[in-house]
Amino acid sequence: MIKKISKLAILPLAIASTFAVSNTNLVENGSFEADEISERSGTWQLYNELSNWSSSESVYFEVQTNLLKEMTAQDGDQYLELNSTKNYRISQKITTTPGKTYEFSLYYSARVNGAQGTNNIEVYWNGRLLEALNSSQKGWKKYTYTIEATGTKSEIAIAGAGAANGYGGLVDNISVIEVTNPATNLVQNGSFEADRVTAADGRYQFFENLTNWTANENLWLELQSSALGKIDAQDGEQYLELNSIGAYSAFQEIPTEAGKQYEFSFYYSGRVDNTEGVNDVEVLWNGELLEALTTTQRGWTKYSYTVEGTDGSSLITLAGTGSYAGIGGFIDNVVVTEIAEPCAVTTGLYGINNFGSETEGYVYHFNPESSAVSIIAGLNNTASNIASKDGMLYFMEQLDSSSKASKIYSLDLATDTQAEVADVTSFPIYRSTVTPDGLSLRATSKTYMYDFDLATGAKTVLGKLSYEGDTFSDGDIAYSSDFNVLYVLTGKALYTLDMGSFELTQVGEHGVNWASGLAIADDGTIYISGRENGENAKIYTLDQNTAEATFVMEGPSHVSDLTFVSEAVCMK
């Protein structure tokens, strides 16, 4: 099965989750929301300076808003046009780690429908052109580039490149995010750097054999370098021309598995401007034509396809089909990566309702971005506490108040299956979290904290919570995303707990009524739940330094406790 995903775009991560990314955007003011628009009834404004962005020229930065009614911002309410009184270039230096991989992405749209040569922009990383974009249609499209950093500082830049007529390309939601486990490229020597060009002063060279690649018709394979001056290599210093003394095909077999899906991508450029039938290239997977490419322009364009592997290996073919001997299309940065199976677990923020029902639900998933609340299926019990580890939810319910007989339950989020974990003896539990080693449920009744062994149910008393002027009738406990800090929430304040001395240090008072749940996201965001009398529960975030609360979204009638299911579960 072969499906072309997009021309000039990369697969969305929800589909092609071949690697994991952190949640921290290294770009400041990437959605252009930092500068308030006060002119022209808030529709658009020219700025001499733009927060966090710079330009090498003396230009006006032009920010537009949704009120202009030409476009709706892709993120927030504002976006940037790269042609004000003339084309201009924006740049920003970000902190990177040499050798680490980063995902650089942005959203781009034409401003003018049907116009040719007006909406052009160029995308750069450390001065190297990644792609020249051109569209004649309005509508946001995401463009994504995976890049390995070479220094502690890296510069991203985006430049207007169309006609200098006051109308230009639009950009929004620019981000650079570290890739924590980059996917393995199954193509060997995909950027054609293994065989060094030494002929013609290092500008171009014919090869009988090219490392990892073979050609048909016993033709020469031709490598060119950036030094030739035709075009800068898209990745590294060299690229392939698919016409040496004649058009030829370059082949490579790569290891694949039957039934698995892969992303096959590469960059393509014409060699000759304004000439039809010369730069033509055909792309094949296991002998099946994916696309016949043609262009009359020089400039790298990314092409990406979703393909299905065959048992043992699959054959990729890049074939020159141009009509003029010695001049053909350019290819660089050929990549095939396995598309991971979609994560079976929905990660993110969860809450439990001790007063819930089968109709109203017992456990919920909260989406703070869309304010959506989803009822989780598969539960037959509820409790006033909830915790999570490795895609499992845990909660403890007291079954008999006289004997204090209680039970720890789990819910497998991959299968929506509830199970009994362990029998325990305990007072009612109001707060819980799973210990960093994943072996125990760390929980409190009101003031006393315990560890319950998840295998046996054995209870260990850890100590008593106490802080002058505060009570512990409401609240929760949760670990930071790195498991180095244990937070304690009460109805009044947020604390950190030293497990050695059992001393509480107050972060600040939050001012949320009936604060009940606490959860820490992968990016460090602190979520809590609370409720006003006669109203539904609400979700807030707390400032990490002051505990000041900010409203996020409405919840169901009650939220007794919160937990956060880490994206790490999808990397296992």
**Are residues 56 and 153 located together in one domain of the fold?**
yes
Q: Is residue 544 left, alpha or beta, with left meaning phi > 0 and alpha meaning psi from -120 to 50?
A: alpha
- Is the predicted pLDDT of residue 12 greater than 70, yes or no? no
**Residue position matching structure tokens 């052009």:** 120
For residue 68, being part of any structural domain is answered with yes
Beta partners for 365? Answer: 350, 374
Whole-angstrom CA distances from 162 to 54, 132, 165, 474 are: 20, 11, 8, 60
Please list the helix, strand and coil fractions of the chain in percent, rounded to the nearest 5, in that order: 5, 45, 50
The answer as to whether 566 is a domain residue is yes
340-351: pLDDT as tens digits: 888 889 999 999
Say whether both 86 and 119 belong to one domain.
yes
Region of poorest pLDDT, from 94-108, 135-149, 264-278, 305-319? 135-149
Give how far the C-alpha of residue 357 lies from the chain's centroid of Cα atoms, to the nearest Å. 35
Q: Nearest to residue 336, comparing CAs of 417, 229, 262? A: 262
Q: Name every residue whose Cβ is closer than 8 Å to that of residue 468 and which is 6 or more positions away in sequence.
A: none
Confidence of residue 571 (pLDDT cuts 50, 70, 90): low
CB 84 within 8 A of CB 61: yes
In this structure, are residues 394 and 388 in contact, taking their beta carbons and an 8 Å threshold? Answer: yes
Read off the pLDDT of each residue in 561-570 and give the average, rounded to a whole number.
91
Q: Tell me the β-bridge partners of 312.
A: 256
Residues 461-472 have a mean pLDDT of: 95
Q: What is the DSSP letter of 4?
A: E
Cα–Cα distance list, 458 to 53, 316, 426, 494 (Å): 57, 58, 10, 29
Sheet holding 503-509, edge to edge: 476-479, 486-489, 493-498, 503-509
Residues 245, 160, single domain; the answer is no
Q: Which two tokens stand for residue 159?
A: 């430049």
Identify the domain boundary among 299, 320, 338.
Answer: 338
Question: Is the pLDDT confidence value at 6 over 60?
Answer: no
Q: Where are the beta strands (DSSP E) in 342-416?
A: 348-357, 361-367, 372-375, 387-389, 392-400, 405-412
Whether residue 545 lies inside any domain: the answer is: yes
- Which of 338, 366, 390 corresponds to the end of one domain? 338
Query: Is 3 within the bounds of a domain?
Result: no
C-alpha separations of 547 from 100, 367, 430, 540 in Å:
33, 21, 21, 11
**Boundary residue ending a domain (315, 338, 361):** 338
Q: Let me know whether 321 and 393 are in one domain.
A: no
CA 406 to chain centre: 41
Please state, in angstroms and rounded to a whole number, the distance separating the CA atoms of residues 165 and 570. Answer: 48
Nearest Cα to Cα of residue 499 among 523, 483, 475: 483
For residue 436, what are its two tokens?
Answer: 């960093």
Q: What is the pLDDT of residue 93?
A: 97
Mean pLDDT of 144-162: 93
Is there a single domain that holds both residue 218 and residue 318? Answer: yes
pLDDT in tens, 366-418: 999 899 999 999 898 899 999 999 999 999 999 999 999 999 999 999 999 99
Query: What local confidence, expressed as pLDDT, does residue 79 receive?
Result: 96
Q: What is the CATH number of the domain that holds 529?
A: 2.120.10.80
Question: Could you count the other beta carbons within 10 Å of the beta carbon of residue 153?
Answer: 10
Is residue 36 over pLDDT 70?
yes
Least confident among 35-44, 54-63, 263-272, 366-375: 54-63
Question: To 5 degrees, how large is the angle CA 336–CA 341–CA 343?
Answer: 135
Q: What is the DSSP string of 424-469?
A: EE-SPP-EEEE-TTSSEEEEESSSEEEEEETTT--EEEEEE---TT
> Is 191 within a domain?
no
| Cα–Cα nearest to 542, from 504, 502, 490, 499 | 490
Do 138 and 72 share a domain, yes or no? yes
pLDDT at 459: 97
Residues counted in the chain: 572
Q: What is the pLDDT of residues 56-109, one digit of tens each?
A: 777 889 999 989 888 889 999 999 999 888 889 999 999 999 999 999 999 999
Contacts 24+ apart (CB under 8 A), 465-473: 465/497, 465/502, 465/504, 466/504, 467/493, 467/495, 467/504, 467/506, 472/444, 472/446, 472/447, 473/446
- Number of helices (H), then strands (E), in the chain: 0, 42
Q: Are 139 and 269 within one domain?
A: no
Q: For residue 567, what pLDDT is reported?
A: 85
pLDDT of 572: 63
Indicate which CATH number applies to the domain containing 288. Answer: 2.60.120.260
User: How many independent structural domains does the chain possess?
Assistant: 3
DSSP label at residue 113:
T
d(CA 40, CA 147): 40
Q: What is the pLDDT of residues 203-242, one digit of tens each?
A: 999 999 899 999 986 789 999 999 999 999 999 999 999 9
- Average the pLDDT over 532-550 and give the result: 96
Domain that holds residue 384: 348-571
Q: Which two tokens stand for residue 207?
A: 């090869």
Residues 230, 290, single domain; the answer is yes
Q: Give a yes or no: residue 379 inside a domain.
A: yes
Of the candidates 26, 11, 226, 241, the residue with the CA atom closest to the CA atom of residue 129: 226
**Per-residue pLDDT tens for 379-390?**
988 999 999 999
The answer to whether residue 47 scores a pLDDT higher than 60 is: yes
Residue 87 domain flag: yes
Residue 98 belongs to some domain of the structure: yes
Q: Which residue did the predictor score with more confidence, 48 or 207?
A: 207
Are 144 and 72 in the same domain?
yes
Q: Are 316 and 264 in contact (CB under 8 A)?
A: yes
For 133, the token pair is 């974009």
Of these ranges, 45-49, 118-122, 140-144, 249-253, the one predicted with the greatest mean pLDDT is 249-253
Claim to verify: residue 409 and residue 332 sit in the same structural domain? no
Judged by DSSP in three states, 201 sits in: helix
pLDDT at 20: 53
Do the Cβ atoms of 118 and 112 come closer than 8 Å? yes
Tell whether 480 and 379 lie within a shared domain: yes
Grade residue 180 by pLDDT with cuts at 50, 70 and 90. Answer: confident
Residue 499: closest CA among 455, 429, 440: 440
Q: How far apart are CA 389 and CA 407, in angstroms?
A: 18
Retrieve residue 458's tokens.
Answer: 């054995």
Same-domain status, 143 and 234: no
